[in-house]
Amino acid sequence: MAAGGPTPTEAAAHRKRQQEFEEAAQRIQSLVDNIRHEPMKLYKITVHDYKKTRASFMQRVVQSTFKAESLHEIVGMSRQTVRKMERFGIFDDIKIQVDSPSDPRLANRPDLAHLRIFVKESSRMELRTGTEAGNAEANMYGALKVRNLFGGAETLLTSMSFGTRTSSAFQFSLSTPVLADPDQNLSLNLFSQARNNTQWSSYEEELKGGSVKYTTLSPIGYHEFAYEGNWREICRPSAKASLSIREQCGHSLKSALTHTWIYDMRDEPLMPSTGHFIRLAQEYAGLGGDVEHIRNELEAQVARSNDKGYIASASFKGGYLHSLNGNPSKISDRFFLGGPMSIRGFKSYGIGPREVKYVDHSVTISPTLISDSLGGDAYVSAGLSLLTPFPGLSKNDSFKAHFFANAGSLISVKPGQQAQKTIDDLKQAPSVSVGAGIVYRHPQVRIELNFALPLMAAKTDAISRGWQLGLGINFL
Picking from 102, 121, 140, the residue at the C-terminal end of a domain is 121
Same domain, 216 and 92: no
Same domain, 106 and 250: no
What confidence tens digit (pLDDT) does each residue in 25-61 have?
Answer: 665 555 555 556 678 888 899 999 999 999 999 999 9
Mean pLDDT, rounded, for 449-458: 94
pLDDT at 9: 74
Do the domain assignments include residue 10? no
Report the alpha-carbon distance of residue 205 to residue 195 in Å, rounded. Answer: 5
Q: Look up the pTM and report it.
A: 0.84
Do the domain assignments include residue 217? yes
Beta-carbon contacts of residue 241 (< 8 Å; ≥ 6 apart): 202, 203, 357, 358, 372
Residue of 440, 448, 335 whose CA lies nearest to 397:
440
Residue 267 above 60 pLDDT?
Answer: yes
What confidence tens digit (pLDDT) does each residue in 105-156 have?
Answer: 877 888 888 899 999 999 999 898 876 655 556 677 789 999 999 999 999 9
Do the domain assignments include residue 139? no
What confidence tens digit (pLDDT) does each residue in 146-179 have?
Answer: 999 999 999 999 998 877 677 788 999 999 999 9
Do the domain assignments include residue 412? yes
pLDDT at 343: 94
Do the domain assignments include residue 330? yes
Do the domain assignments include residue 186? no
The C-alpha torsion from 102 through 106 and 110 to 114, rounded to 10°, is -40
Mean pLDDT, rounded, for 11-21: 72
Same domain, 211 and 115: no
Say how many domains are in the chain: 2
Return the higher-pLDDT residue of 319 and 43: 319
What confidence tens digit (pLDDT) does each residue in 342-388 have?
Answer: 999 999 999 999 987 765 555 444 544 568 999 999 999 999 999 99
Report the alpha-carbon distance of residue 298 to residue 141 in Å, rounded. Answer: 31
Domain of 96, CATH number, reads 3.10.20.310
What confidence tens digit (pLDDT) does each residue in 204-251 have?
Answer: 999 999 999 999 998 899 999 999 999 999 999 988 899 999 999 999
What confidence tens digit (pLDDT) does each residue in 64-87 have?
Answer: 999 988 888 888 899 999 999 999
What confidence tens digit (pLDDT) does each residue in 429-446 have?
Answer: 899 999 999 999 988 889
Helix 71-86 × helix 55-62 angle, to 10°:
130
pLDDT at 413: 93
Residue 66 is part of which domain span? 26-121
Domain of 315, CATH number, reads 2.40.160.50
Picking from 80, 105, 121, the residue at the C-terminal end of a domain is 121
